Amino acid sequence: MATIRDVARHAGVSPATVSRVVNGLVGYSDATRTRVEQAVNALDYETDYLARGLKTRQTSVIGVLAPMVSDALASQVMQGIEIAAQEGGYAVMLGRTGVKSTFIASYLRTLRTYRAAGVVLISAVITPEIRQLLGPNIPVISVAISDKSGSPAVAIDDEKAAYDATRYLLGLGHRRIGLLAGDPSSIYVAKPRSQGYMRAMTEARCIPVTTTGTFFYESGAQGLGELLAQDPALTAIFAVSDEMGVAVVNELQRLGRRVPEDVSVLGFDDTSTARHVQPTLSTMAQPLEEMGRTAVTKLLRARNLGPKVMPHRLVERGSTAPPRRTS
């Protein structure tokens, strides 16, 4: 590992000049620049990020915190983050906070001592504690949380998206639409999505039928049972996650109901699972990868923070259709 002094010696200049050339600053002649560049190539010199970070009090590290690394939604956002970070010459430091955010404090400390350039929070809100732990110099932004507080975020408008999703089902002719919601105490977006559904149903003078799941596949079958117990004549189910939506499709078929002929099913997020069922799952899509990318670019500009609302989009696949003509 050649150091900046090695390069300086080789080029017959001072380390300061090498630094200037390497960092594209001003203050050297064309001739010296050439000599330095040759020396850099000859010695295969690489800037030491640790030393630079120590001196400049800033590294090209972006911290990413997700509740769970293996989650499909988080993975897609991370993919976007990674792409944008790579393009900007940043490295991504990954942390798992756990569903209850247990580990978040220690990660934040680590990121601070590594002088991270910024932090992205996936599916988590920026609490005052987080802000404080990070100190005044590290910007933070959250993704996939529609935050009404005005703090930096990149997300869709969950209330509006759920409203539009419900309107879509209403537009197909459905009146008896069940909502498989999420637990608002553990999942932040659960509440606005429920509210959007309620607004659309109320406007259409339809009777809301709701129950609560966990967002995961396992809770789908039971949720469907609870919905059907309340109204066996439901012609459509709106699940606020694809995993639950897929579970509902499978469970309906197991119960002998055809999808979408007897019952339509609509999911949320547009993760890859939505395409892996038969029939494929219609869903309210979030541009997850793009949200990850946008979060990074916004974070690095570090001005114009505040929330950014991304567009949602209804993806019509095989699991939705008009209701059957009933007597």
Partner DNA sequence: TTGTAAGCGTTATCAT
Partner DNA sequence: ATGATAACGCTTACAA
The CA–CA distances, whole Å, from 310 to 46, 124, 157, 158 equal 39, 17, 7, 10
Where in 133-192 is the site for a copy of itself (CB under 8 A)?
Answer: 135
> If binding is defined by CB under 7 A, does position 47 make contact with DNA?
yes
Q: How far apart (Å, rounded) are the C-alpha atoms in residues 176 and 236?
A: 7
Binding mask 56-85 for DNA (x = CB under 7 A): xx----------------------------
Beta strands 209-213 and 236-239, pairing class:
unpaired
| Coil vs helix vs strand at 169 | helix
Stretch that binds DNA, among 13-21, 95-103, 122-130, 192-200 (CB under 7 A): 13-21
Residue 60 carries which side chain, given as an amino acid letter? S
> 229 is in the binding site of which of DNA, a copy of itself, none (Cβ under 5 to 8 A by kind)?
none
Binding mask 194-223 for a copy of itself (x = CB under 8 A): -----------------------x------
Q: How far apart (Å, rounded) are the C-alpha atoms in residues 133 and 107?
A: 10
> If binding is defined by CB under 8 A, does position 113 make contact with a copy of itself?
yes
Where in 241-280 is the site for a copy of itself (CB under 8 A)?
Answer: 243, 246-247, 249-250, 253-254, 272-273, 275-278
DSSP string, 69-101: TT-HHHHHHHHHHHHHHHHTT-EEEEEE--TT-
Q: How far apart (Å, rounded) are the C-alpha atoms in residues 237 and 111?
A: 43
**Given the complex with a copy of itself, which of 166 and 320 has the nearer CB atom?**
320
> 56 is in the binding site of which of DNA, a copy of itself, none (Cβ under 5 to 8 A by kind)?
DNA
72-75: long-range contacts, CB 8 A cutoff, minimum separation 24: 72/242, 72/243, 72/271, 72/272, 72/273, 73/123, 73/144, 73/269, 73/271, 73/288, 74/122, 74/123
- Residue 110: CB minimum distance to DNA, A: 13
> 230 is in the binding site of which of a copy of itself, DNA, none (Cβ under 5 to 8 A by kind)?
none
- Phi, psi angles (nearest 5°) of residue 224: -60, -45
> 207 is in the binding site of which of a copy of itself, DNA, none (Cβ under 5 to 8 A by kind)?
none
Stretch that binds DNA, among 55-63, 66-74, 79-87, 183-191 (CB under 7 A): 55-63
- Residue 83: CB minimum distance to a copy of itself, A: 7
Binding residues vs DNA (CB under 7 A): 1, 3-5, 12-17, 19-20, 22-23, 26-29, 31-32, 45-48, 51-52, 54-57
